[in-house]
């Protein structure tokens, strides 16, 4: 893992910054990288990097909205298949489950 | 990692996943009844969790038929192993991890290498994100359409998609993903970053994002 504590972002090139980005995002998961005060000067001086950071943050934030429960459903027949398998016992060590009670 | 690993991992509850998986009314009672072999309780647990399990399988596999098969496997495994559930994490978290691990084992059996170090170091021309910053005038406009993102995720190479889904969608941490995918945490971080870069490319040209079977099914 890269040690980020001694980095001087103000003297960093855009290419160097990109090399550290995976680790920076991983270390700053509780907050937005675009609002990290250590990076404010660098990002102000490198608008392309600032745009990249904002875009990646947007993607990560939108991804959370994909965790929407109840949006898809398996076919109605699936429970019957599962219940049948449970009644049969699905491997040699399984006791059949009586689902007819 | 096999399911033994799953049981080891779930001894340390993940506060984030607890928060994202609050207990469901009637669930605790159904679990206890199911442990005692009550068939109605099995059915209740299936009804409560089938959509979440199926959606997860569909997103990871990108194939409706395989997603149904793995949903079946997940619930069969759940019912066989329910006695080992100790309530140290939310039940839905436990079931979620069980499902993820079954899907990963299934993919390995199919011969899919989930996270390739080679891919990280030397990605193929077609799959790798471009190593430039892009022009600012086409940057994403502060928000991304969920439907388009879902479609873009479905079109990612499998290794990138798996890490992105596990981390950014499902909320697993890099050390957990590294354990599940049998790679280093550094590799997990790198794959996630490349996945996001690839998504950025795709989202800047949403009309070019291919529609896949998974995105047709997942996005309603």
In A, minimum Cα distance to B44 occurs at A79
Residue A96 contacts residue A88 (beta carbons within 8 Å): yes
* The domain boundary residue, chosen from B82, B109, B136: B109
**Residue B26 — pLDDT band, cuts 50, 70, 90?**
confident
Q: Which pLDDT does position B16 carry in this prediction?
A: 47
How far off is chain A from B42, nearest CA to CA, in Å? 9
Domain enclosing residue B143, as ranges: 117-218
Last residue in a domain, options B62, B91, B109: B109
Cβ contacts of B153 on chain A, cutoff 8 Å:
63, 66
Tell me what the pLDDT averaged over chain B comes to: 77
Same domain, B54 and B127: no
Same domain for B149 and B105: no
For the cut 50, the answer to whether the pLDDT of residue B100 exceeds it is: yes
Q: Which of B9-13, B95-99, B139-143 shows the lowest per-residue confidence on average (mean pLDDT)?
A: B9-13
A52 touches chain B (CB under 8 A): yes
Contact yes or no for B37 and A65 at CB 8 A: no
Q: Tell me the ipTM for this assembly.
A: 0.77
Whether the per-residue pLDDT at B27 is higher than 80: the answer is yes
Judge if pTM exceeds 0.90. no
Residue recorded with tokens 């759940």: B78
Rg (CA), chain B: 18
Task: Choose one of B60, B88, B109: the last residue of a domain.
Answer: B109
Pairwise CA distance, residues A56 & B197, whole Å:
7
What is the count of residue pairs from A and B with beta carbons less than 8 Å apart?
138
**Averaged over B86-100, what is the pLDDT?**
87
The full DSSP string for A14-79 is: HHHHHHHHHHHHHHTTTS-GGG-GGGHHHHHH-HHHHHHHHHHHHHHHHHHTT--TTS----THHH
> Other CB atoms closer than 10 Å to residue B180's CB: what's the count?
24
Here the tokens at position B212 are: 């896949």
């Amino acid at each position: 893992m890269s040690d980020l504590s001694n980095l001087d972002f103000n003297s960093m090139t855009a290419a160097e910054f990109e090399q550290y980005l995976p680790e920076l995002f991983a270390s700053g998961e509780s907050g937005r990288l675009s609002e990290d005060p250590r990076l404010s000067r660098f990002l102000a001086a490198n608008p392309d990097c600032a745009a990249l950071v904002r875009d990646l943050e947007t993607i990560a934030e939108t991804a959370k909205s994909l965790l929407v429960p109840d949006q898809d459903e398996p076919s109605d027949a699936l429970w019957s298949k599962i219940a049948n398998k449970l009644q049969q016992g699905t491997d040699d060590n399984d006791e059949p489950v009586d689902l007819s009670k | 990692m096999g399911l033994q690993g799953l049981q080891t991992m779930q001894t340390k509850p993940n506060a984030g996943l607890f928060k994202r998986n609050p207990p469901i009314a009637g669930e605790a009672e159904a679990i206890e009844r199911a442990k005692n072999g009550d068939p109605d309780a099995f059915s209740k647990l299936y009804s409560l969790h089938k959509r979440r399990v199926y959606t997860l399988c569909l997103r990871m596999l990108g194939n409706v038929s395989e997603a149904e098969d793995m949903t079946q496997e997940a619930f069969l495994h759940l019912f066989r192993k329910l006695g080992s559930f100790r309530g140290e994490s939310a039940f839905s978290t436990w079931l979620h991890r069980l499902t993820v691990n079954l899907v990963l084992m299934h993919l390995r059996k199919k011969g899919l290498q989930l996270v390739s170090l080679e891919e990280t170091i030397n990605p193929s021309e077609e799959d790798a994100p471009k190593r430039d910053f892009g022009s600012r005038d086409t940057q994403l406009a502060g928000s991304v359409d969920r439907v388009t993102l879902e479609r873009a995720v479905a079109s990612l190479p499998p290794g990138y998609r798996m890490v992105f889904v596990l981390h950014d969608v499902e909320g697993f941490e890099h050390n957990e993903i590294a354990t599940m995918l049998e790679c280093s945490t550094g590799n997990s971080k790198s794959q996630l970053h490349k996945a996001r870069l690839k998504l950025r490319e795709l989202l800047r040209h949403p009309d070019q994002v291919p529609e896949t079977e998974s995105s047709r099914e997942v996005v309603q």
